[in-house]
Amino acid sequence: MSRLWGYISGCYIPRQLRYWLYTAYSKLFGVIINEIELPMESYKSLGEFFARRLKDGARPISFDSPMVSPADGTIVSVGRVTSCQVEQVKGVTYTIKSFLGSPTWQEDIATSNLESSPMNTATKSDMMKQDSSTSNCSGWSINSTFLFYHYGLLTMHMYCINFIFNFLSQGVSFFSLSFKKQDVALSDDTQEKTISVERQDKNDGECQPFDPHWNEYKSKLLHNPDNELYQLVIYLAPGDYHRFHSPAQWTVKFRRHFQGELLSVNPKIARLLPDLFVLNERAVYVGEWEHGFFSMTAVGATNVGSIKVHSDKGLETNKRCRRKDFNQHDRPFSTQWSIGQEVGEFRMGSTVVLLFEAPKGFVFDVDAGQTIQMGQALGRIHVSQVDYITSK
């Protein structure tokens, strides 16, 4: 379904139809039209419109903060990581070790010749080339007879498409899971359905903060044992700005691409599917910032078959043919991303997950359930707490 949607979203739309189609879409999904960089008639396909840029200044960067939001969206989980089970939404978890994989990137980085890697900083021309490639569709185009449709009828069609899209997206998510080993349990007390998905790693079961396996894994992530691990999950809805940016000044040293499912990451679905983020296709970027370990992960979803990162030419997501016995692709990476720098883009809606190391005095200025914009401050380091911890 995601490949079909990718095909449709890349199809050329006649110029006369674009304004009415995109206006209907904007009303349906809450797109703020006056923020869009170009006139709506300039976007040749739905894919181009989904990945639209915003006007200069539409998203001011909070440079006074050490970390800013990488994307527009809704915060579904935020806080300190205290065990290997991390919240993907309130009350439902995913396994951090299965999500990031084994921390083998230290050895890979040390033994690789990073200067020979073709992946470095993206140029403006690179981004434009990727943008221009989104409208290819084997010459197929929408028939011009649609020009006679009334605006109200077109809007009604968009509402119907939205209903069908949501219905199919959720249906495909559950249908895909039916082919996996899982147990469905209905609690008599809560009457809520929960699905237990088979773990990718036998050691990734329930764990406590002092579990030796968890402590060992955490110690391999942290550069400073006195620091803590934190996470933040942002869900991008279909109407949100769909480009994602660097949340901090950091050096990216490694990329790990997990092939996987493309299940819906809508919070309503995420509440029913533990380890949803582990099942879905994702691109994990690992490196370090001023306080140690830092990672940013772009998680794919239904109809988000294409995750594009401007400086990563080798990343190919939602491939038609893939080896089922080999779903992890590691590659050294050598680049620096500055705070607020545009990094890549999604199609439709998806999720960005930040997992990072910071001093124990780090405090989030945002809460779960809050709507946030790219560039908005995420948190700060409480200096008095850091000084107190250091003095001890």
d(CA 352, CA 348): 13
Task: Give the three-class secondary structure for 347.
Answer: coil
- Please report, for residues 7, 46, 271, the alpha-carbon distance to residue 21 in angstroms, rounded to integers and kept in the order given: 17, 9, 33
Catalytic residue, from 45, 72, 135, 306: name it: 72
Catalytic residue, from 2, 112, 311, 350: name it: 350
**Can you list the positions of beta strands (E) in the chain?**
67-68, 73-80, 85-89, 92-95, 182-186, 193-197, 228-236, 243-245, 250-258, 282-289, 292-299, 308-309, 328-337, 342-345, 350-358, 362-364, 371-372, 377-381
Catalytic residue, from 245, 257, 291, 310: name it: 245
d(CA 109, CA 331): 9
Q: Is 350 a catalytic residue?
A: yes
- Four-residue CA torsion sign, 254, 259, 264, 267: negative
- Four-residue CA torsion sign, 26, 35, 341, 370: negative
Are 280 and 302 contacting, i.e. CB atoms less than 8 angstroms apart?
no
Q: Is 245 a catalytic residue?
A: yes
* The pair of three-digit structure tokens given for residue 267, joined into one six-digit string: 């919070």
Q: Is 183 a catalytic residue?
A: no
Task: Give the three-class secondary structure for 268.
Answer: helix
Which amino acid is it at 30? G
d(CA 22, CA 389): 53
Residues identified as active-site: 72, 245, 350
